[in-house]
Structure 1
Amino acid sequence: MIKKISLIALVLTLATSCVSSKVYKELEGKYSRLKKENKSLADENEDLLSAKTSLENQLARLQKEYDETLARRNQLESDLAALNTKHDNLKNSYDALEKNSSAAIAKNAKENRELLAKLEAKEEALAAENERLEKLKKDLADRSKRVEELEALIAAKDKAMTDLKDAISRALTDFEGKGLTVEQRDGKVYVSMENKLLFKSGSWAVGTEGKKAVQQLGTVLADNPEIAVLIEGHTDNVPYSGSGQVKGNWDLSTKRATAIVQILSQNNSIKPENLTAAGRGEHVPVASNDNAEGKAKNRRIEVILTPKLDEISKLLNEI
């Protein structure tokens, strides 16, 4: 995502050579909105993971309750069988005693009535437990299905981003070892290009080699129209010493990001509304600025690619 935004920023710079105050403010506004959207996506991702954990916990509880209910049902069936046996024995005794003792008959009749009452109560309890068991079984199946659907969606999103990362790596293989890296983390793909591949010192004009890299990245992005692309420009902590319209590192990083956007926007298959350019100045370093090697790594364009999570959000709302 960051690399894509950086590419867009570079394209805009080449197209216009400079950014007007109005365009710059629009870019700042768009970056602010994207930053909020990025944070919202991160929060939403956390909510999705939390919802998944909650569903798994609910599934475990339902499974436990199902097992306990099944055990109670089995016990009730066992008790019912024992009571039926006892009832048969009492009935046999009753039949034998009926011929000899009215007192014994009365006693057996009482016990038989009590036993029949217990049997009826056990049968009612068993019916209630069977009904509850069926309901739990259905709830368990419904929850399992939702968890499986959620896991499938998350897996599909992860696979799509992995495929995107692999496609970008293949497209940019000619630039390996030239300050370009492609990584996947937190459900996003990060394409980072050091300025030595793209710009001369203090400039926001993209060189021939850098433009080729950005265009090749654009061919992959054109095949993924549902991916949001944030392009961020970054500098080291050395204050900008040039003259002209650039007012400092922050302004320079924004112009570089805009130059990348301009190059990417030349590809008609890339939706302009998916592209956002942002300047971060020296405020988000990835290495120490105390040495030349660290400064070189900090002078970079990052393209951050983020998938849309509408389907997952819809499923969570239905649960």
Structure 2
Amino acid sequence: MKKVILILSLATLTLTSCGTKKKIADLEKQNKDCQDLLNSTTVKLNMCLSEKEALNQQNDYLKKNNSELINNIGNMTTLTTKGAQNIEKALETIKEKDLKINRLQDALTKKDSVTLALVSSLKKSVGLDDKDINVNVEKGVVFINISDKMLFKSGSYMVTDRAKEILGKVAKVINDKPDFECMVEGHTDNVPFTGNAILLDNWDLSVKRATAITRVLTKELGVKPSQLIAAGRSEYIPLVDNNTSENRATNRRTRIVVMPKIDEFYDMIEKEMKNLSK
């Protein structure tokens, strides 16, 4: 009987001990959960405090700005009135400048119209069917390129009879435009000139050819000398590379540059630009 009682006591003690361990484990888990929650809550609290501080600073800034804006309302009313007056003056100035710009554009348009009319007249007079004569416009200036084989014999600056026929057509157009100037330019290829003692090099040849053309235009074809400029460009402004006989023939040419009198044109432009700056 005593043995039975002892066995029952031990069993009861064992069961009681197991229940206690389970409770301890449950309490420890609850304690950990509470600690984690506390830590998380502490972090969120710190964040809220930081945000509150930032909001307080922003609120102080907005209050200060609001106060300054209220104080400036009267000044802004005055500034708005002055601003409206300034805008009105600016619009008047812009309107005046627009009128001046339109006048300048009209002048340029008129010049371009005259230039195009001149090109049309030249094309009809000179006859562009001949590949050795070319008329074109660059930046409002008319260029007439005439191959030297139509004007001179090789190495010579004596104008041929055929050239005088062509130059007669050019002279007619120039005479119809007394407000224009013409620059007669002589151009050579890059082959060194070794003709005679009178002509030393390609510079001499190009200048002599330019003055020969100028002389025909003035003395034989009635062009006013005051409209003409003679210039020699030698070999230094080629149209194409001087690497073939055909290309060298292309570069040997006389170019007649027809343009409004530069000083008068730029005086007009300068006058309008001064008006724009006022």
TM-score band w.r.t. shorter chain: 0.5 to 0.7
C-alpha distance 268-171 of structure 1, shift in aligned 2 (>3 A): closer
C-alpha distance 205-123 of structure 1, shift in aligned 2 (>3 A): same
Are 1:164 and 2:106 matched, yes or no? no
Unaligned runs of 5+ residues in structure 1 are 1-117
Say what the alpha-carbon RMSD is for the aligned residues: 2.3
1:143 to 82, 97, 101: 97
- Any idea what the Cα deviations from partners look like across 1:57-96, whole Å, max 9, x if unmatched? xxxxxxxxxxxxxxxxxxxxxxxxxxxxxxxxxxxxxxxx
Match of 1:234 in 2: 187
Are 1:306 and 2:263 matched, yes or no? no
Q: CA deviation at 1:316?
A: 1.1
2:166 to 195, 205, 213: 213
Q: CA deviation at 1:244?
A: 4.5
Count of paired positions: 202
1:77-156 → structure 2 map (5 Å cutoff): 124-125=78-79, 127-156=81-110
Q: TM-score, normalised by structure 1?
A: 0.58
C-alpha distance 316-271 of structure 1, shift in aligned 2 (>3 A): farther
Q: CA deviation at 1:199?
A: 0.8
Are 1:295 and 2:248 matched, yes or no? yes
Which fold has the larger relative contact order, with Cα–Cα distance below 8 Å and residues 6 or more apart in sequence? Answer: 1
C-alpha distance 314-272 of structure 1, shift in aligned 2 (>3 A): same
Q: CA deviation at 1:289?
A: 1.3
Q: In the aligned structure 2, how far is the partner of 1:178 from the partner of 1:196?
A: 12
Match of 1:75 in 2: none
- Does the aligned pair in 1 maintain the 2:100–2:275 contact within 8 Å? no
- For 1:233, the aligned partner's letter is G
- Does the aligned pair in 2 maintain the 1:250–1:281 contact within 8 Å? yes
- For 2:226, the aligned partner's letter is E
Unaligned runs of 5+ residues in structure 2 are 1-72
- Does the aligned pair in 1 maintain the 2:144–2:256 contact within 8 Å? yes
- Any idea what the Cα deviations from partners look like across 1:14-43, whole Å, max 9, x if unmatched? xxxxxxxxxxxxxxxxxxxxxxxxxxxxxx
Q: CA deviation at 1:269?
A: 5.8
Match of 1:317 in 2: 274
- Does the aligned pair in 1 maintain the 2:186–2:254 contact within 8 Å? yes
Q: CA deviation at 1:129?
A: 3.5
Q: CA deviation at 1:178?
A: 4.2
C-alpha distance 281-133 of structure 1, shift in aligned 2 (>3 A): closer
- Any idea what the Cα deviations from partners look like across 1:137-164, whole Å, max 9, x if unmatched? 2111011111111111112112211211
- For 1:166, the aligned partner's letter is S
C-alpha distance 181-250 of structure 1, shift in aligned 2 (>3 A): same
1:241-256 → structure 2 map (5 Å cutoff): 241-256=194-209
Match of 1:104 in 2: none
Q: CA deviation at 1:305?
A: 1.8
Moved over 4 A (4+): 120-126
Higher mean C-alpha deviation, range 127-136 or range 262-271 = 262-271
- Does the aligned pair in 2 maintain the 1:231–1:304 contact within 8 Å? yes
Match of 1:46 in 2: none
**Could you tell me the percent identity over the aligned residues?**
31
Q: CA deviation at 1:179?
A: 0.7
Match of 1:274 in 2: 227
Q: In the aligned structure 1, how far is the partner of 2:168 from the partner of 2:230?
A: 16
Are 1:189 and 2:142 matched, yes or no? yes
- Does the aligned pair in 2 maintain the 1:234–1:282 contact within 8 Å? yes
